[in-house]
Structure 1
């Protein structure tokens, strides 16, 4: 069902690099908050390649990003979150009609489940503080960026879909 041919390896490498760059290089980060668009290459990759690829590449990009930019500071909880996000993006966007309504539902679901619950739980474990200490600042940041993320993904996804349909099929599973 899933074969990892040379096109997939190259595409995966490109998207791993994009995820790491968007998450670690082009990000604003404080101790408890990170403002980045690292979700974007992961969501696009998972929508093109599927949930299992999305989960795998999300986890791999998280591990590599931590090894490169934060040596000695790796927390596996965030790898679980990134992997789960990649799986969810792939599950709801891969080979399905992607409408604005579907995008909103998926991003709100991820906002509630992964961003607010799971990542806040990981931070409370990591810093040994109550989750309520992180909740308000994370909620404000995420509620501001939720519509921005939806709009950015919608625009980028439509542009990439149009490009792939017009020029070539990049992921021919049989070649």
Structure 2
């Protein structure tokens, strides 16, 4: 695939991420449940870790600038980039099965969502880390099987189309 086509697909994934993350999500002060992660996963599967990290980071920046839901905080952009890196390293050019996806989702939920994002929230709102982590752990434990299922279904359904039509053209 030539670079121009690759950049176009990455830009489409960024746009889709903003739509899924900003409009099809539930947000409170300390909890966010959305579906933007699916586009970062697809970027990781199709283009690798750096592209997935870029999709996550650019989506966060543009989404915050165009559809602000509070002040911009650079820490969440770092988290979005690292999430993409993890998805890319774990899923790019690898045998995709439920176990690999589950381990990847658990890593991201513990390292990024519960660790980094909770730290960013404690810095941003001046609340103690341990005060915020309780409700976030519950949310992430509920989301792990849901995210694993959604990723597996998306990769299964979209993956063959992407490999046959988009990447081989």
Corresponding residue of 1:171:
167
Per-residue deviation, 1:17: 0.8
Separation of aligned partners in 2, 1:94 and 1:126: 33
Equivalent residues of 1:103, 1:154 under 8 A apart? yes
Q: Secondary structure at the match of 2:29?
A: coil
Aligned-residue CA RMSD (Å):
1.7
Tell me whether 1:7 sits opposite 2:26 in the alignment: no
Corresponding residue of 2:30:
32
In the TM superposition, what whole-angstrom CA distance separates every residue of 1:103-129 from its partner, at most 9, and x where no partner exists?
Answer: 111111111111101100000000011
Separation of aligned partners in 1, 2:77 and 2:117: 10
1:50-69 equivalence runs, <5 A: 50-69=48-67
TM-score (norm 1): 0.91
Which stretches of structure 1, 4 residues or longer, exceed 2 Å deviation after superposition?
none
Residues 109 and 76 (structure 1), Cα distance of their counterparts in 2 relative to 1, 3 Å cut:
same
Corresponding residue of 1:109:
107
Per-residue deviation, 1:4: 6.8
Separation of aligned partners in 2, 1:9 and 1:35: 28
Aligned residues: 169
Per-residue deviation, 1:6: 1.7
Tell me whether 1:79 sits opposite 2:73 in the alignment: no
Structure 2 segments unaligned to the other structure (5+ residues): none
| Equivalent of residue 127 in structure 1, options 114, 125, 128 | 125
Per-residue deviation, 1:93: 0.5
